[in-house]
Every structure is written in structure tokens, then in C-alpha cells.
Amino acid sequence: MLAIFICTVAAFTIYFYFTRKHSYWAKKGIKHEATIPLFGTHYQNFFGIKSITQIVQNLYNQHENEKFIGYYRGNTPELIVKDPDMIRQILSVDFSSFYARGMGRDPVKEPLLLSLFHVEGDTWKLLRQRLTPAFTTNKLKNMFPLIIKCAEKMEKVVDDLTMKDEYDVRELMARFTTEFIGACGFGIEMDSINNERSQFRELGRLMFNPPWKQKMLTVLYDLIPELFQYISASNPVVEDSMSEIFLNLRKQRNYKPIGRNDFVDLLLELESKGTIEGESLEKGNKDGTPEKIRMELDVKCMTAQLFVFFAAGFETSSSATSYLIHELALNPEIQRKVPEDIANVLARYDNKLCYEAVAEMRYLDMALKESLRLFPSLGVLNRVCTRKYTFPGTDLTIDPGVKVMIPVHSIQNDEKYYDNPTEFRPERFLPEEVQKRHKFVYLPFGEGPRACIGERLGHMQSLAGLAAMLHKYSFEPSKSTKLHLEPDPWSNVVQAVIGGVPLKINKRNK
């Protein structure tokens, strides 16, 4: 009898622990799906049935007339915010209540999570203000010759690929962007364009297609974050590789900038200045002014910044460019307009690709923005409420620690904001059309103080690579081409597709 009693109490305790917050949204009158102990409403993602973007898309469509939808990632209440005005409050107007992203675990156990993308609060603010100078217009112009060099190397490889019946364009653009990130970020020729099994291309694959053990630990963190006081979900191969790369570069440059104006130079310049100082985002003095704060930029922190520069740079750009090429292959009339735009601009610049020329390729720019609307690299933006907050014009108040999801993919494919949203139509981004829309219904790079710091670099790099490709090559569907690309259910940060983007590549007639 005693054993039965103990088992009953244990079962009840476990049940209570894993359901203790599952009434949060019901008490606030927010609609949500039925919960399951331990999983909440997150079970489809845990078992790799659907990505978080797909789950949010289904909920977004099911609750058409709601501004808010409740969700439970394990025992953590999350709020899907559909209304553009409320999204504006979160990302911009009331940023001080939603400055946290909630994507990191313990950076002591997983030092690569010291990156700008993952850190929170004062650490994020200090890093953001110090890293911003890496992305000025002058820095972008100085990088452009490196982009041209990468594009020229790519052209030689693509010539050979025209002899094949098909090739995965997703892989091709990943090789190009990896090469570019190596040149502009690390000052290294990575040879990923000529060698699809190069060290850095393999490292990129490992970052976004980790072993099953790491995948399961990552999704387990969503359900039981308390466990990660004791264990780590990081990949030691990636950690060791990035650390070795940075330490070698630092030593080769004699621990100081060498005038390349790349990302490593910026980090070494920051290191030479010593302590980073600024105003606190989280702490205030009695008179209401922010406290002065400071931090040391050590080797682990610098390695983490290099990691996110590499990972975010190549993955998002290769996703965006390959998806655009896929849409052009399926829309030959639009594909004819894009190279015409490129050729007309290049004719004014002696047929040479340069920074100023790419900036004038309006139709190519509109086509890229339209592809980012249809398939944004980040399907969902994440924030965490940092103080008790009432949404303006509503009676909904949420507590600190509640996570917020902004359904970027769903909003950008909503017929309320884009007529016939599944149609690929670059003209949606004519200036007069953009003016008609709410600013917060197009968010592929986020918005507000925590918007993507590398937006301009990524956009310019993507346009340059596309201009070089589409000026000399055309694309058409192959036997394996899918009309609709199938999202990978395990891709929960940057969206990926199953089976790549296979297409037939052809040389253009001069």
C-alpha cells in the first residue's frame, strides 16, 4: 500500500509540475489548442512533424479574426501576436518591455551563445552599439571588390553545371555565400565555390543540420529548460572549429587590425580598446537616468560574434537567393524582365558590376523582396516580455517571462495585406505600393532596435550574386523541381526545405 501511495503522489506531482501553467491563457480569455502534459501544444514540433513556422501558420489561419493566440511550449506560455499595430508596439514603441529574444541557453556551458543574436539585456546593447560600425555604407563599398571576385569564381563553376540535367541551386548559392563570408568576414579564401566539400562548407552544414543527439537536446530544452543547468546542447565540433579559426586569425594578424576592414579587423580593434562602456538597458539610477555599465570583450565573446556572422550570413542569404531563382524558373516572363533590368544598368557602367550599379537594379531588388515575402528566412520572430505589460486598447495583460511569437511568414502570406498572396509579383514593391501597406506586415529582417544588424550587407551581397548569375545564366524546372518547396520540419530558426532546390541551368545567349 505504501508503494502504491508513493507512486500515486509521485505521478500527481509530476503531472502538476508539467501542467502547472496550462491554464494561463484560459484565465485571460485567449484562445488556444488543447494542451498535453509535458508538451503543452508543442508536441508536433518536438517529434519533427512540423516546424514552428508551419504550426504557427496553421493556428494563424484557424483563428482568422483573433489578434492573439495562446501557445504552450512545454510549460511556458507564449503569445502569437497577429495584429500589425500590436507588433509595432512590441518591436519598436515599447521595445524596453520586449528587448529579450529568449533564444539562448547558458553561455557559460555554450560559449557560442555569447553572440549578438543570442545574448540579452545590457550585454546585447553594448555589443550592438560596438558592432554596428562594421556595416556602414563605406564598409560595404570597401567589401564590394571581394564580392566581385567571388562572383567571378562562381561563374567558372556554373559553366560546368550547365552540362548537367539539374543541380541544387540551394547548394550553389550556399557555396557562393560561404565564400563571400570567408572573404569579407574572415579574410580567408575558403574555396567553397570550387569544392562543395570544403572545410567551411562542411562546417556550415553541421551548424544547420546537426546530429540527431543535438536536435533532440535542442527540442528537449523547449520542454524542460531547467535541465540545461546541468547539460549542454552545443556541438563541440562547431565550438572547437570556430575557436581554432579565430585564434589562428588573431595570431596571424599579430593581435591587431591589419587594414582589411573585415569583421575580424573590427573585433581586434574592439579588443585593443579594452573595456566597452555604455548606458544600461536594465538598470537605472534613483534620478531615473540609466546606470553606466561596462564589459570586457574576451576571446570567447569575439569567437561567438564571428560564429554568428558566418552562420547567419551564409544561411539566410543562400536561402533567399535560391528561393528567388526557384520562383524565376517557374515564372519565365518575370525571369526575362530581371536580366533586362541588369543589362540596362550594367550598360551605364561599362558592363562591369560595381556597388553603384547593383544599387540601381530596381526590378532585381523588387524580385528579391518579393521572394523574401513569400518565404522569409526567419518564419517567426521571438521576443520575451521583461515587465508586466498591457497591450494598448485591450484588456490583455501579460507577465514577465511570457514569450511572444510574431508570425512573419503568416502575415506576409495573408490576403488581408497582399492580394492573391501566393502569386509571385515583384511589382508589389514599387514605391507607391509599399506606401499603401502597413510597415509591419513585411518583416523579413525584423524591425526596431533589434532588427538584423547585417540586413544591408546581406541584401547587397544577395543582389550582387544574383546579378552575376542572372546576367549570364537562365534557370528552368528540371524533372525533380517541385512547384511548392516543402519546409523542413526540423528547421526552427532559419527556414530550410526538404530536397533542396533542383533546377536546370542554361547559358544565356549573348
How many of the other CB atoms lie within 10 Å of CB of 20? 10
Q: What pLDDT shows up at residue 471?
A: 92
Residue 362's Cβ-count burial label (10 Å; 0-12, 13-18, 19+) is middle
What single-letter DSSP state applies at residue 93? I
Q: Are the C-beta atoms of 155 and 468 separated by less than 8 Å? A: yes
How many of the other CB atoms lie within 10 Å of CB of 285? 10
Taking the domains of the chain in order of start, what are their residue ranges?
21-507
Please provide residue 187's backbone torsions phi and psi, each rounded to the nearest 5 degrees: 70, 30
How many of the other CB atoms lie within 10 Å of CB of 252? 12
Positive or negative, the Cα torsion across 104, 105, 106, 111?
negative
83: CB partners within 8 A, 6+ apart: 67, 68
Is 284 strand, coil or helix? Answer: strand
| C-alpha to C-alpha distance for 400 and 389, rounded to whole angstroms | 8
| C-alpha to C-alpha distance for 113 and 118, rounded to whole angstroms | 6
| C-alpha to C-alpha distance for 80 and 56, rounded to whole angstroms | 8
| C-alpha to C-alpha distance for 432 and 61, rounded to whole angstroms | 28
- Across the chain, which has 510 residues, the per-10-residue mean pLDDT values are 67 68 93 92 92 96 95 94 98 95 83 90 90 82 81 83 93 86 78 68 77 78 78 84 90 88 85 85 83 88 90 84 96 95 95 92 97 95 96 96 96 97 97 96 95 89 91 94 90 87 88
314: CB partners within 8 A, 6+ apart: 174, 177, 178, 180, 181, 204
Q: What pLDDT shows up at residue 193?
A: 64
Distance of CA 353 to the CA centre of its chain: 27
Residue 452 assigned as binding residue = yes
Is 277 strand, coil or helix? Answer: strand
Q: Are the C-beta atoms of 320 and 372 separated by less than 8 Å? A: yes
Three-class secondary structure assignment of 31-49: CCCCCECCCECCHHHHCCC
C-alpha cell at position 1:
500500500
C-alpha cell at position 177:
555565400
Residue 246's Cβ-count burial label (10 Å; 0-12, 13-18, 19+) is buried
Between 299-330 and 455-472, two packed helices, what is the crossing angle to 10 degrees?
40
| C-alpha to C-alpha distance for 363 and 430, rounded to whole angstroms | 9
Among the listed residues 143, 154, 205, 208, the one whose alpha carbon sits nearest the alpha carbon of residue 179: 154
Alpha helices by DSSP H, 132-233 = 137-161, 169-181, 199-208, 212-223
| C-alpha to C-alpha distance for 461 and 458, rounded to whole angstroms | 5
| C-alpha to C-alpha distance for 109 and 405, rounded to whole angstroms | 26
Q: Are the C-beta atoms of 475 and 503 separated by less than 8 Å? A: yes
| C-alpha to C-alpha distance for 9 and 3, rounded to whole angstroms | 10
Q: Write down the CATH superfamily of domain 21-507.
A: Cytochrome P450 (1.10.630.10)
- H or E segment to which residue 398 belongs: strand 397-398
Q: What pLDDT shows up at residue 10?
A: 61
What single-letter DSSP state applies at residue 375? S
C-alpha cell at position 296:
570586457
What single-letter DSSP state applies at residue 487? B
Among the listed residues 129, 119, 120, the one whose alpha carbon sits nearest the alpha carbon of residue 96: 120
